[in-house]
């Protein structure tokens, strides 16, 4: 082993496999594909309307007609699934979120329309009360507390009404105890055996949700969500939540947010054989967009690096507002 450096006697040289682009492609371990992407979308009442969310540049709330175009676009780019979130007008909100299971509601209409117009796309619906709640909380409020068991009853009705409208997968994001099992039982009793459950299992009380709450006008009107969402300091507890959701019948589990929780994604991936989803949330999106707009980072490269890191950590699926942009880049 002769080296120009008399202090080195190298037998192993990892750089050999990084020397050329083709070698680097050959030893690449993680490949992000369009099949990994789920596109979260926002729907609102009205016709021919779209509103950009100020804290989420290039992401819009759409009236149903324009949303259908947006989803058709996504489908044409090869995206398999959308996660649907509604902006509910204030006068339809109440403490018990009753609008959430209105068979004539915005979500139910939207599901039916998507199924009719773009049947190939998988529809994932959000099960939680916050968009429908006067208080912006994920459950029924009494004396400043969030009621668990009473809320779960409403969530079951909400999930069944979404299934009835044609949802493929319901995704409880509320973090009430026992809701996955109750929803599974409710769906089965109503004959919706084939509707799956994507459980937001390890959902943290995160400051990264701010822009999303702007989009849905759903910020909590008092307090915060720490009595139901998890403490960002905890990791063991994520396994406890995942174990319960699996026992209760979840088909897939989720970690949310994603970027600050890559260690949790990895632990859960090692714990379960179920598909693991990660939610690249609104605040993560906003940070990248903000820095890119200042010219401080290379947006495309940062986006690909970030999503690839989530996949490397163990995510099988990634919910991301970058879905269309990434689908285009991956072409």
Residue 238 burial by Cβ neighbours in a 10 Å radius (0-12, 13-18, 19+) = buried
SS3 label, residue 117: helix
Q: Which is nearer to ligand PBG, 156 or 281 (CB)?
A: 281
Among residue numbers 17 through 56, which ones bind ligand PBG (CB under 6 A)? Answer: none
Least gap, CB of 157 to ligand PBG (angstroms): 16
241 assigned to a ligand binding site: yes
Shortest distance, position 130 Cβ to ligand PBG, whole Å: 5
Q: Of the two residues 85 and 192, which places its CB atom closer to ligand PBG in the complex? A: 85
- 282 forms part of the interface with ligand PBG (CB under 6 A): yes
- Report CA-CA distances (Å) from 319 to 37, 46, 104, 124, 310: 6, 26, 27, 11, 11
In this structure, what are the phi and psi dihedrals at residue 112, rounded to the nearest 5 degrees? Answer: -60, -45
Q: Catalytic one among 93, 203, 269, 311?
A: 203
For ligand PBG, which stretch binds (CB under 6 A), given 26-34, 207-215, 247-255, 264-272? 207-215
**203 catalytically annotated:** yes
* Binding residues among 138-167 for ligand PBG as defined by CB under 6 A: 138
**Catalytic pick from 225, 256, 269, 289?**
256
Stretch that binds ligand PBG, among 6-14, 68-76, 185-193, 209-217 (CB under 6 A): 209-217
Whether 157 is a known active-site residue: answer no
Q: Are 222 and 233 in contact (CB under 8 A)?
A: no
Please name the helix (run of DSSP H) or strand (run of DSSP E) that holds residue 40, with its range, or none.
Answer: strand 37-44
Indicate the burial class of 221 (C-beta count within 10 angstroms; 0-12, 13-18, 19 or more).
exposed
Does residue 58 contact residue 290 with C-beta atoms inside 8 Å? no
Rule CB under 6 A: say whether 241 interacts with ligand PBG.
no
Angstrom distance (rounded) from CA 41 to CA 72: 12
* C-alpha–C-alpha distance, residues 305 and 297, integer Å: 12
Let me know: does 220 contact 133? Beta carbons within 8 Å. Answer: no
Can you read off the two tokens belonging to residue 206?
């995160």
> Of 128, 154, 198, 326, which lies in the binding site for ligand PBG, with binding defined by CB under 6 A?
128
306 touching ligand PBG, by CB under 6 A: no
List 36, 126, 164, 168, residue binding ligand PBG (CB under 6 A): 126
Minimum CB distance to ligand PBG, residue 272 (Å)? 22
Question: Given the rule CB under 6 A, which residues bind ligand PBG?
Answer: 126, 128, 130, 138, 173-174, 209, 212-213, 225, 281-282
Looking at the annotation, which residues are catalytic? 203, 256
What residue numbers does the annotated binding site for Mg(2+) cover? 241
């Amino acid at each position: 082993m002769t080296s120009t450096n008399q202090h080195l006697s190298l037998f192993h040289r990892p750089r050999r496999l990084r020397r050329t682009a083709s070698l680097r492609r050959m030893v690449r371990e993680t490949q992000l594909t369009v099949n990994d992407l789920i596109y979260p979308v926002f729907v609102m009442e009205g016709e021919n309307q779209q509103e950009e969310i100020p804290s989420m540049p290039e992401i819009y709330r759409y009236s149903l007609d324009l949303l259908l175009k947006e989803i058709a676009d996504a489908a044409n780019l090869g995206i398999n699934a959308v996660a649907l979130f509604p902006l509910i007008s204030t006068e339809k909100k109440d403490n018990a979120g009753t609008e959430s299971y209105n068979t004539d509601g915005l979500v139910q209409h939207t599901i039916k329309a998507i199924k009719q117009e773009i049947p190939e796309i998988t529809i994932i619906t959000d099960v939680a009360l916050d968009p429908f709640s006067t208080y912006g909380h994920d459950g029924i409020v009494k004396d400043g507390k969030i009621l668990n068991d009473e809320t779960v009853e409403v969530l079951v009705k909400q999930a069944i009404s979404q299934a009835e409208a044609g949802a493929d997968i319901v995704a409880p994001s509320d973090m009430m105890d026992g809701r996955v099992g109750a929803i599974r039982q409710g769906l089965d009793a109503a004959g919706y055996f084939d509707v799956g459950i994507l459980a937001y299992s390890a959902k943290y009380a995160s400051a990264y949700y701010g822009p999303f709450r702007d989009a849905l006008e759903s910020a909590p009107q008092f307090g915060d969500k720490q009595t139901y969402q998890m403490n960002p300091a905890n990791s063991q507890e994520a396994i406890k939540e995942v174990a319960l959701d699996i026992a209760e019948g979840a088909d897939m589990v989720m970690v949310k947010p994603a970027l600050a929780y890559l260690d949790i994604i990895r632990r859960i991936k090692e714990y379960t054989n179920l598909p693991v989803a990660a939610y690249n949330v609104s605040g993560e999106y906003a940070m990248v967009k903000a820095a890119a707009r200042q010219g401080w980072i290379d947006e495309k490269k940062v986006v690909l690096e970030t999503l690839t890191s989530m996949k490397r950590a163990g995510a099988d699926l990634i919910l991301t507002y970058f879905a269309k942009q990434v689908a285009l880049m991956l072409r």
